[in-house]
Amino acid sequence: PELVKEYQHVIYQNIIKGMKVLVDARDKLNIPWENPKNYDIGYQLLKFENTMILDARLFLHYVPSLQSLWSDASIRKAFDRRREFQL
């Protein structure tokens, strides 16, 4: 439990960074958004500073956005093409 807590912020950062890469790759691969509202959500996520230290409370703020993005078929299509970019 202590070891998990010690690395919790790193895990949270990696989740956010991974989704940022997918949002950026979706754009570069010219995959259109399935749900247009995710354009704004993705744009806001791209503004996330990778140096921010996330605790559980702050990470929970991002969870609805991450869920919305992951449920968009365009993000999953980008993920399926991950060999074409660095995830």
CATH number at residue 60: 1.10.400.10
Q: What is the pLDDT of residue 54?
A: 87
pLDDT for position 72: 99
Number of domains forming the structure of the chain: 1
| pLDDT value of residue 66 | 98
Q: Could you list the pLDDT tens digit for every one of the 87 residues in the chain?
A: 788 788 998 999 999 999 999 999 999 999 999 999 999 999 999 999 888 888 899 999 999 999 999 999 999 999 999 999 886
Range of the domain at 41: 2-84
Report d(CA 87, CA 67) in Å as an integer: 18
Q: Which residues of 22-45 are buried (b: 16+ CB within 10 A; e: fewer)?
A: bbebbbeeebebeeeebeebbeeb
SS3 59: helix
Token digits for 24?
């950026």
